[in-house]
Amino acid sequence: MIFNDPLHKKWDEWDYKLFKAHYILEDWYRDGIPLWWDESDRVTFDAKPRVSKSKASIERAQEANAKKKSKSYGIYFTVEPRLMDGEEMPTRDEWLEEQAAKQGNVQQRPIREEPHILQGKNTS
């Protein structure tokens, strides 16, 4: 279903689960917030500024491109992550730990008995 494989003749359990997950994310969330929170009269939100390094990079490139004397139409910019000093891409758990440390809420990650692979990195 998702990969449009012509050899795929019958949908299985995973096809339906993936489709349902996609449906939930597309139709029941707005900007990562569940609609039942977003549209509830009982919930309010506080806007907090955050810095997006990827968006800042795009905005700088767009600004530099706008200053050129010859205009190039149809150009758009995308970002590609680049690691510093031979590091590996951080996992979600590592990022959460960094955020907790910044706020002074240092917590240990739960120790799993079985190896678990998350985002292509073995985090056993």
- pLDDT, tens digit, 9 for 90 and up, residues 5-30: 767 677 788 888 888 888 888 888 88
The Cα–Cα gap between 116 and 124 comes to 6
Q: Measured on CA atoms in the order 69, 75, 79, 80, is the torsion positive or negative?
A: negative
Token pair 């905005």: residue: 59
What pLDDT, on the 0 to 100 scale, is given for residue 116? 46
Alpha helices by DSSP H, listed for 67-108, are: 92-102
pTM metric for this prediction: 0.47
- pLDDT, tens digit, 9 for 90 and up, residues 27-74: 888 888 888 888 888 888 888 888 899 999 999 999 998 888 887 778
The Cα–Cα gap between 93 and 51 comes to 20
* pLDDT range class, residue 84, cuts 50, 70, 90: confident
> Which of 25, 24, 4, 2 minimizes the C-alpha distance to 14?
2
| Contacts (Cβ under 8 Å, ≥6 apart) of 106 | 97, 100
What pLDDT, on the 0 to 100 scale, is given for residue 43? 83
